[in-house]
Amino acid sequence: MNGVHLELSFSAVYRHTPEAVWAALTHQDALRTWFLENDFSPRVGHAFFVWGPNIGHVNCVVVALEAPRRMEWAGHSAEFPIPTRVIFTLKKTDGGTRLTVKHVGVAPQASETDIFRGWSGRLNRLSRWLDGRFLVSVARGDASNVGLIANQASTNKTADRYAEEGAMTAITAASTDHEQVIDLTGKVRGARDLNERRRLSPPDQAHDVCSDHSH
């Protein structure tokens, strides 16, 4: 295969702890939100895939894992038959974490620009995810109750967060391709008003309504 040797390096500083950034890199649901569809598991030797509409299906394996400092993947696909490596390195800084991502190996020359743009875009998405702008829930319309997954050293509370969706008035959800804002305010208010009317109605009101229609 005619190609070029990749030696790409990207670095970003996030205003979050290394543990929070590490969780975003190693939790399957988090990766699915800011990165790509996947079946990742943080275990050395684990074979997994990542998929996206622009890169297709890529077969990967976890080569190294040193929580919360370093992780390495090797991956190949139909377009990249020779495995390339992706190395994530985290370093604590004043008030945050510096994440460095290196992508090395051999790739088709036409893909080098796409890879560069792809990683730049994904790291920007990671920044928004960590800041809570990708999955934000507002409980009962009170902005002070906004929950941010990214501020958790562990994502174990994610399930609890989803369980509270019944009390939300709005949720901002993201896919691998776009953000979608779903405004639930009207539905929540309508259901609340209906329940309130039922609560205040006389016990025999429903019976009277049915009786009127029976004549």
Task: Report the mean per-residue pLDDT for the chain.
Answer: 73
Of 97, 115, 130, the residue that ends a domain is 130
212 located within any domain? no
| Cα 191 from chain centroid (whole Å) | 30
pLDDT surpassing 80 at residue 29: yes
Of 87, 113, 130, the residue that ends a domain is 130
Indicate whether 118 and 41 sit together in one domain. yes
> What is the average pLDDT across 1-7?
83
Of 87, 106, 130, the residue that ends a domain is 130
| pLDDT single digits (tens) 98-143 | 999 999 999 888 788 899 999 999 999 999 999 988 643 333 333 2
Indicate whether 171 and 73 sit together in one domain. no
Indicate whether 92 and 38 sit together in one domain. yes
Indicate whether 122 and 140 sit together in one domain. no
Higher pLDDT, 18 or 108: 18
pLDDT given at position 43: 98
In CATH, what number is assigned to the domain containing residue 79?
3.30.530.20
pLDDT given at position 136: 37
214 located within any domain? no
pLDDT given at position 82: 92
Indicate whether 116 and 186 sit together in one domain. no
Using a 10 angstrom Cβ sphere, with 0-12 exposed, 13-18 middle and 19 or more buried, the burial of residue 42 is middle
Indicate whether 191 and 174 sit together in one domain. yes
Indicate whether 119 and 185 sit together in one domain. no
Segments forming the whole domain that contains residue 120: 4-130
Indicate whether 107 and 142 sit together in one domain. no
Q: Distance (Å, rounded) from C-alpha 58 to C-alpha 46?
A: 14
> What 8-state DSSP symbol labels residue 131?
T
Using a 10 angstrom Cβ sphere, with 0-12 exposed, 13-18 middle and 19 or more buried, the burial of residue 21 is buried
pLDDT given at position 54: 87
pLDDT given at position 79: 87
pLDDT surpassing 80 at residue 182: no
pLDDT surpassing 70 at residue 211: no
